[in-house]
Amino acid sequence: MNKGFYESLDDVEQGRTFLDSTELVLNMGPQHPSTHGVLRVVLKLDGERVNGIECIIGYLHRGIEKIAESRTYPQFNPYTDRLDYVAAVSNSFAYCMAVEKLIKAEVPKRAQYLRVIMAELARLSSHQVWLGTHALDVGAITPLFYLFREREEILKIFEKYCGARLTTHAFRIGGCQYDAYEGFEKEVLRFCDLQESRINEYEELLTSNRIWLQRTKDVGVISGKDCISLGVTGPVLRGSDVKWDLRKAQPYSSYEEFEFDVPTGKSGDTYDRYLVRIEEMRQSLRIIRQAVAGLPEGPIMAKIPKVLKPPAGETYVSMEAPKGELGFFIVSDGSTQPYRVRVRPPSFVNLQALEKMVRGRLVADVVAVIGTLDIVLGEVDR
């Protein structure tokens, strides 16, 4: 072999191994420190090189879509919190918007702004969990604690707003159940100032760290074209230089009224995705600041009937969740319960890119790429 042992993809393609030895089948997961829950990855290894990879999912399957068929529309709302549990607010947001579209309810402006503030806070907290665990996977154990320190502040705001920290059930169909509490604006703004400086702190730890650069640059590269054909969305897509953000492309909940940039990466590697997400955290703070400053007065709940019976029909509504496009497809037969609910989870679709990104790479890269895809198994398995 003249080519570098670890650089030749031809051998991988033709299933050749070093010295024609047999492949080592390594079962990573479902209990493994860095498969982010109960993902099981079966790796076919040639030494440390990954020749083949197979993801086995379903260990966290709870049949949420089926449950929806035996619940009324408002009853199903809390179940959505259990999809992407690190950004529960976003799920509820998307589901409520889908049902609101079915019943053609107009959400009051104040509720829309409140939703934006909460959803952006959820995006921040989701990105914090991502960065902490991703850095931990790559071997930096310290950032995790710094990130969870700030996440605690967000969870405190959630707790004060709706009483729950993780599975928030923050929104109701037609608006919000709770208005902003006393001193909400001040607290959120104070958090924004704190977070702004803390993001710089994270960057000090990682952005120009030589080992971090070596571990993330040119690792898990995926082109924008591949991303689109696989249906990959969110920061992963934007990291591959595709400027696609549903908040800009099809604004919902007054997102058109806020000024923010959509950061994109150039090469589509793990480092670019890291930079994109870091920048997204900054942009989220920008949106939150604008939303808090322009928070209008008025009702927080649309006038909707006590018993929800959407007219027969179907709808698909999607939004930019922290991990990508989160969509709810709801079929109504005119009764109080949905006939069918289908979730389009970003994590599940993004996970499909894993094989393309790690074939021919090393075991350590698999771990780094699973981290950079930012999957949550609650959403993958539903």
Partner 1 sequence: MRPITEYLHSNLTPGESGDLLWIFVYVVVIFLGISLAVLLMNWLERKILAHMQIRLGPMRVGPHGLLQSIADALKLLIKEDVIPSQADKIVFWFAPIIVVMTAFTLFLVVPFGRTHAVTDMNIGILFMLGVSSLGVLGVIMGGWSSNSHYPLLGSLRSSAQMVSYEIAMGLAIVSAILMTSVASGTGTLSMIGIVESQYQQHRWFAFQFFPLGLVALLVFAVAMVAETNRAPFDLPEAESELVAGFMTEYSGFRWSLFFLAEYASMIAVSSIAVTLWLGGWLRPFPNALSGAGWDGAFSFVPALTFVGFGGLCIYSASRMPKVRGMKLQSGGLAAFGMLLGAIGLLMCAPALRARVQDVYWFVFKVSIFMYLYIWYRGTFPRYRFDQLMKVGWKVLLPIALAVLILTALVGVRQELFSVVAEAVR
Q: How many CA atoms lie within 13 A of 65 on its CB side?
A: 17
Exactly one of 81, 365, 374, 381 binds partner 1 (CB under 8 A); which one?
365
Q: Is 364 in the site for partner 1 (CB under 8 A)?
A: yes
| Tokens linked to 207 | 């952005």
| Tokens linked to 252 | 């919902």
Is the distance from CB of 208 to CB of 200 less than 8 angstroms? no
Task: Outline where DSSP puts E strands in the chain.
Answer: 24-28, 40-46, 49-56, 171-172, 175-176, 313-321, 324-332, 338-344
Q: How far apart are CA 225 and CA 244, in angstroms?
A: 13
* Residues binding partner 1: number (CB under 8 A): 34
Give which of 181, 173, 170, 178 is closest to 303, Cα–Cα: 173
Exactly one of 15, 139, 183, 311 binds partner 1 (CB under 8 A); which one?
139
Exactly one of 136, 358, 373, 377 binds partner 1 (CB under 8 A); which one?
136
Q: Is 214 in the site for partner 1 (CB under 8 A)?
A: yes
Q: Is 8 in the site for partner 1 (CB under 8 A)?
A: no
Instruction: Count the neighbouring beta carbons within 10 Å of the beta carbon of residue 104.
Output: 10
Q: Is 135 in the site for partner 1 (CB under 8 A)?
A: yes
State in angstroms the smallest separation of the CB of 212 from partner 1: 5
Q: Is 200 in the site for partner 1 (CB under 8 A)?
A: no
State in angstroms the smallest separation of the CB of 268 from partner 1: 19
Exactly one of 58, 66, 106, 142 binds partner 1 (CB under 8 A); which one?
142
Give which of 169, 163, 154, 164 is closest to 121, Cα–Cα: 154
Q: Is 146 in the site for partner 1 (CB under 8 A)?
A: yes
> 92 or 270, CB closer to partner 1?
270
Binding site for partner 1 (CB under 8 A): 6, 24, 26-27, 32-34, 45, 47-48, 135-142, 144-146, 149, 205-206, 209, 211-212, 214-215, 362-365, 367
